[in-house]
Each structure stands twice: as structure tokens, then as C-alpha cells.
Amino acid sequence: MSQELVEPAAMAAATDEVPTPFAAASVPPPAKTKKDSGSCPETPPSPARPAVETAAGWSSLLPDLVRRVANCFLDTNDVDWYMDLRAVCQSWRAATDDPRKNPFDGRFHPREWIVLDDGVSQTDDTRVFVNIGTGRFLRKKLPLRRRYYLVAITFGGYFVLADRKRPHATRVLNPFTGELVRVAAPVPRGAGVAVFFFSGDTPHNLTLLCGSSRKYYTAVPDSKRFVAHSDGELIYNYMRKAVVGGVYTNGGGWASVANEGMIENLCKLTEMLQVEFVKFFSCDPFRHTRDVRCFLVDFGGQAMFITKAPGRLVPVETIGKYAIFIGHHRCLVVDAGKFPSVEANCVYYTLQVSRFAGIVKHNIGDGTDVRVSESLEFFEQNNEFVFDTPRPLTIIQVLCSYTINLRGSELA
């Protein structure tokens, strides 16, 4: 497996959230002395300790303490903070594990992140990341994108890229560690949805889905070409929803979401809702003539089916502290307590009215549906929904924008 690593200095320059733990301390001038009647001047206070001495003290922290702090960052998948910690000094690097020495170590793989790819906040080099486990927002520069086409962003945060020169060889970027996995095979034309995962110590597996051909393609780093799989539109639509919902990645592969029991239950559900199975999982929102949508999402390590039906949602008793966001292309489950203004045990979904769309909050507890705002937040433009509301945006609007749009490949 061939990999590239971004130099630590480049990674530090590539993020707007790099902490400065040892800011230069300004030394105040000596305090003015005053005399008591006939007494000697008071001894002036000692000046502040220079910043160099302070930094030396921090670098001598016990290795076990440094590891404990670093592991706290990895527990919440804040890999960028972990990399910043390792960049502080040599002793902190020696006390912590180097992601480059074990690329299969899942602690360093992006898992909890979504990337806002709807044009809200990014420039050519900047993207906005959201940690759905902690509610943390991160604006990060990715200068490597200048050398590649962006093909897809996986659920979790990997960037699938293509060389700008033919034959457009594939690259997969971990935006937090700088690891760039080289896949020899060129990117299939039209691919716009991806999943990148590993199993034990086996090579990384990359799966790309192409909406125009309704095929999916698989490869490992040493593959000379992607292997095409054509199982029909029904299976393709079903698999696509499993990929964008994170089920395919976290569940251990396609077999985990393609068992006969799950398919049989879904067939019964489509019969009850009087909708065709192909349209039920369609990735084209404009084919939902009756506004029927179904999504597969990862919910606590299990596959969860979330269904939007005309005028109602398939009822559940409670989802506890969580909130669900349902859009035209994606579905998202978040811990409501981590996001201000988001209410627990509620479902936020986008409701299309002609060329416009608004956000509705469904309360699972009492079954009520309430519009989030009086105006419609989005309007359709070139098969994409853009904001029709004044800035700044609310967190609810930002999360809904992630679910209502899904951009295709720049290579296409």
C-alpha cells in the first residue's frame, strides 16, 4: 500500500483551530516603589517567568499524563487535536503513537465527522467539518485539493480524490493525519458516492457508486482497475442509502445490510405504504412523487430504518436524547444535547413545496408537526437546494442543508 503524508508543518498551517499552548508571555515592568516616612524602598515583585521556562516545564510532563490527554482526544475522534498535541515537542511525540506507523489503527481514522459540502462556508481550500458526536465545528484548509479533483466525501470524513492528469488515478485523504492512500486504479467516470473502510489488518477497501449507470465499483490500493458490480437499480439504491447513512462502513460490509430478513421486512413496509421499492430507496428526490423516503443510518452500531411517508412518520415510541434530520438525499442522527437549539426526541425533515423547501419539526412524544420558521429556507436551483434565508444560519438549518443536498464528483 502506497501512502503519502503531509508534513507536520503543512498540517499545522492547514487548520484554523491549531492551538498555541505556549503563547509568548509579556513581562511587566518592575512595579514602582514607594517610601514610607524614612523607611527603605519596598522590594519590587519578581517579574513573570519567561515563556521559554514555561514551555520547558510543559515538555517535561510525565509521558503517562501526556498519553492520557492524547487518548481523550482520540476517544471523541478529535484526531486534529491529537496531531496538534504531537507537534508541540519531541517528548510529547515520543509519548504518543505515530499514526504513520500503523495505518490500520482505527483510532486515527475519521469516524464522527460530516463535511458541509453545500457551498455554505467553504472556499476552494477550506471545508467546514462537524463532529456529530461532540457538536464541535471545525474550519480546516486542505491545500492538497489544488492538485486533485474532489470525487466524494465519505460519511466520517475521508476525501476521495482523483489526479488532475489522465488517467485520473485515485487517492484517499485522511484530512486530520495527512495520510494519502494511493489507489492505482483510475476513478470510474460518474462516481460520486464513496465508502472507505478496513477490516483488521487487511488493505483499505474503497467502494464508489455511480448514479448514472446504477453500478458500484470496488478496489484496494494495489488494484489496477475498479471491479464493476451491476445488481440492478433496486440493490443499487438500497446500497447507496446504506453508504450515505454510515451503515455500510460501521457494519462490516455489504453483507451486514443485505440479509434476507431485512429485505423482506422492507418489502412489507413498501406494500403497506403503497410505494415501489425502487422509488422507496431512490437517490433522486424528484422521483418521490408522494414524498416517500427511506434511509438506513447507523444508530448505536445497529442499522436503523427511518421512513418519511406522506403526512406522517412511521411511529416509534422514543429516540431518547437523539434527534433525526431527514433530507432529500441523506439522513442524520445526532445527540441533541451537543447542539444548541436542537430538541431531543424530535425529527427535523425538509418538506418540498413546488421549487421551495422548508424545515418541519416532528415531535415524537406528542406527534405534532411544527414549521421551524415562517419562511421557506431553500429553493431549487439546477437540481440543488440553496438557501433562501438571510444569514447567519442556525444550527438546524446547517444540519438540514447537509441532508438535503449531495454534490457529485468534480471529475464528472
pLDDT of amino acid 3: 45
Q: Give yes or no for a cis peptide into 63 (omega within 30° of 0).
A: no
pLDDT of amino acid 125: 78
The reply to whether 321 falls in a domain is no
Query: Can you tell me whether residue 151 is helix, strand or coil?
Result: strand
Residue 14 region, left (φ>0) first, then alpha (ψ -120 to 50), else beta?
alpha
Give the number of domains in the chain. Answer: 1
Query: Can you tell me whether residue 183 is helix, strand or coil?
Result: strand
The reply to whether 310 falls in a domain is no
The reply to whether 178 falls in a domain is yes
Length reported for the chain = 412
pLDDT of amino acid 185: 94
The reply to whether 282 falls in a domain is no
> What pairing do the DSSP bridges indicate for beta strands 159-163 and 169-173?
antiparallel
pLDDT of amino acid 299: 79
The reply to whether 23 falls in a domain is no
> Is-contact 270 293, C-beta < 8 A?
no
pLDDT of amino acid 31: 45
What is the C-alpha separation between 135 and 314, in angstroms, rounded?
Answer: 27
The reply to whether 344 falls in a domain is no
Domain that holds residue 155: 1-18+52-230
The reply to whether 98 falls in a domain is yes
Backbone angles phi, psi at 13, to 5 degrees: -80, -15
pLDDT of amino acid 249: 64
393: number of Cβ within 10 Å: 16
pLDDT of amino acid 112: 86
What cell does 368 get? 405534532
In this prediction the pTM is 0.79
Transcribe 202-258 into DSSP letters. SPPEEEEEETTTTEEEEE-TT-SSPEEE---HHHHHHHHHHHHTTHHHHTTSGGGG-
Contacts of 330 (CB under 8 A, 6+ apart): 244, 245, 295, 402, 403, 404, 406
The reply to whether 24 falls in a domain is no
pLDDT (tens digit, 0 to 9) for every residue of the chain, 412 residues total? 444 444 333 333 344 443 333 333 333 444 444 444 444 444 455 555 554 454 557 888 899 999 999 999 999 999 999 999 999 999 999 999 999 888 788 899 998 899 986 554 445 678 899 999 999 999 998 877 678 999 999 988 999 999 999 999 999 999 999 999 999 999 998 898 998 876 655 667 899 999 888 899 999 888 999 999 988 887 888 888 888 887 776 545 555 566 666 777 777 777 777 777 666 666 555 444 456 677 878 777 777 778 776 655 556 788 999 999 988 888 899 999 999 999 999 999 988 888 889 999 999 998 899 999 888 889 888 878 888 877 788 999 999 999 988 888 888 7
> Is-contact 6 178, C-beta < 8 A?
yes
